[in-house]
Amino acid sequence: MTFSRMKPGGCVRPIGATLAVLLAWAACTGCVGHPPPTPGATDSWKVRQGQAVWKPSHKAREVAGDILVATGAQGEYLVEFSKPAMTLVRVLRRGGTWEIAAPGRGNSRGGGKPPKRSWFQLGELLSGAPLASPWRGEVRDSGNQWSLENPRNGERIEGYLSP
């Protein structure tokens, strides 16, 4: 079944096209205002890219996408998970503060320890910090492959980064 809306003047426009435009607009306006760290900056961030698969819960389908991970010498990190042309989630921890941006879900900021949400826990894992309970993680192949899991709700992220 296809739903459509009648425009003034008799034109019919599919609701799906309108929704796609709104989602694209939300993706562009919901981004965190910080540019990603660059290699060689004064903080000496290490930036790597790769692929990841995210399963948000036991019942949810897996989502595959691109991942960018940058880690700093002071335990800072940036994790960005995206599909072509759209960032799905972006987290940043730096200088005792944290931020998260997820199109359609809004932005959050705070100080102190970051929330126990998966993308922050991935940043903690890849920067060498301890994970919050109940998260479990493993880093293999000199840090190029990793997996993170919450056994309580079935959320899982696994992937690899280019050296």
Radius of gyration of the chain (CA): 18
Is 131 part of any domain?
yes
* pTM value > 0.75: no
Owning domain of residue 2: 1-30
pLDDT of 5 reads: 38
Mean of the pLDDT values across residues 61-85?
94
**Weakest mean pLDDT among 40-54, 92-106, 117-131:** 40-54
Say if residues 81 and 94 touch (Cβ distance below 8 Å): no
In this prediction, residues 64-88 reach a mean pLDDT of 93
Please state, in angstroms and rounded to a whole number, the distance separating the CA atoms of residues 79 and 65: 13
In DSSP terms, 4 is beta-bridged to 14
> Which DSSP letter does residue 162 get?
-
- How many CA atoms are closer than 13 Å to the CA of 163, on its beta-carbon side? 3
The answer to whether residues 148 and 156 touch, using CB atoms and an 8 Å cutoff, is yes
Q: Where are the beta strands (DSSP E) in the chain?
A: 4-6, 12-14, 46-55, 63-71, 77-83, 86-94, 97-102, 106-111, 136-140, 145-150, 155-161
| Co-location of 157 and 87 in the same domain | yes
Query: In the structure, what pLDDT confidence band is assigned to residue 74 with cuts at 50, 70 and 90?
Result: confident
Confidence label for 28 from pLDDT (cuts 50, 70 and 90): very low
Q: Are residues 7 and 67 in the same domain?
A: no
Q: Evaluate whether residue 7 is within a structural domain.
A: yes
2 belongs to a structural domain: yes
Q: Are 146 and 139 in contact (CB under 8 A)?
A: yes
Q: How confident is the model at residue 39 (pLDDT cuts 50, 70, 90)?
A: very low
Distance (Å, whole) CA 4 – CA 130: 51
DSSP assigned state of 125: H
Are 74 and 138 found together in one domain?
A: yes
Overall number of domains in the chain: 2
Tokens of 117: 């949400």
Q: What is the C-alpha separation between 58 and 47, in angstroms, rounded?
A: 31
